[in-house]
Amino acid sequence: MAVKPVGLTGGKGVRVTGDQLTAEAAVDYVREAGYDEWVVEERLVGEEFTVQAFVADGEVRTTPAVQDHKRAYEGDEGPNTGGMGSYSDTESTLPFMTDEDYDDAVAVVEAVVDALPGYKGVLYGQFMLGADGPKVVEFNARFGDPEAMNTLSVLETPFIDVLTAARDGEPLPQLDFSGEATVCKYAVPAGYPVEPDAGARIEVDASSVGDALLFHASVDQREDGLFTTTSRSFAVVGLGDSVAAAEADAEEALSVVDEGFHVRHDIGTAELVQSRVDHMRELRGE
């Protein structure tokens, strides 16, 4: 089973039995965490992915699938975080999914929009792709973090056109994407998320990341520069004509990041992406 408090938990509230804890420990977590209401759900096994969409007046414009990495340490070990990084491919799908899987997820997003006739804004659908296709993990009325950085970095349609069309009640523009793969990696304070150590100087700036993009997150701006807080510090997004090329771009941008930070260097690597593909093949009995 999966348990989650009803309320905002910074993306870190879910506990999954059999993976992170026993059923008894889940009961203790519920008793001790101090929330009045809880969601208890089926434990879903598979590969997670996100589909974000722009929505206005019943119209939906979906964006390519992205895979986030919630666990703090390489190999998907350690505690849940707000998200350590994410990748997207040159097409709308990810390497472990079929076109049909993506279309099934989009159909769910469209059904949710049908059920919310007045909704205007970004819709974030998170899915678990299992042997029976995608199942909903959660929906949010916001962008995903870090997924927004993957998606908006390859959106060629001016974002402002989407926003003004939604505001003015006009048809949303069709979305064009650059067709590049993206790999986003967060640099977080050492010890994050359990005992984060704030105060490390952030040396990275837009001029030091080469072709990659730099997004600051939680930083402490002092007279003598930027320093870490106890939350995720900054992310770099590499772009390329394959996930591997985008990953290399992101890693190059991170080459100046050293002491005081933790990065999941495995995100977007050929080895980790292949392990996702193998996992899906195993679940599908292929």
Residues that bind ligand GLY (CB under 6 A): 11, 68, 83, 140, 144-145, 147
Instruction: Decide whether 8 or 194 has the Cβ nearer to ligand GLY.
Output: 8
Instruction: Decide whether 139 or 177 has the Cβ nearer to ligand GLY.
Output: 139
**140 to 136, 143, 284: CA distances (angstroms):** 11, 8, 28
* Distance (Å, whole) CA 3 – CA 18: 12
CA-based torsion, 8, 140, 282, 271: positive or negative: negative
Instruction: Decide whether 11 or 130 has the Cβ nearer to ligand GLY.
Output: 11
Q: How far is the CB of 224 from ligand GLY (least distance, A)?
A: 32
User: Which of 277, 214, 274, 273 lies closest to 87, judged by CA?
Assistant: 273
Q: Cβ contacts of residue 285 below 8 Å, gap of 6+?
A: 131
The H or E element spanning position 125 is strand 121-130
Instruction: Decide whether 68 or 89 has the Cβ nearer to ligand GLY.
Output: 68
CA-based torsion, 87, 184, 186, 245: positive or negative: positive
Q: How far is the CB of 140 from ligand GLY (least distance, A)?
A: 6
Q: How far is the CB of 55 from ligand GLY (least distance, A)?
A: 17
Q: How far is the CB of 277 from ligand GLY (least distance, A)?
A: 21
Instruction: Decide whether 15 or 200 has the Cβ nearer to ligand GLY.
Output: 15
Q: How far is the CB of 128 from ligand GLY (least distance, A)?
A: 13
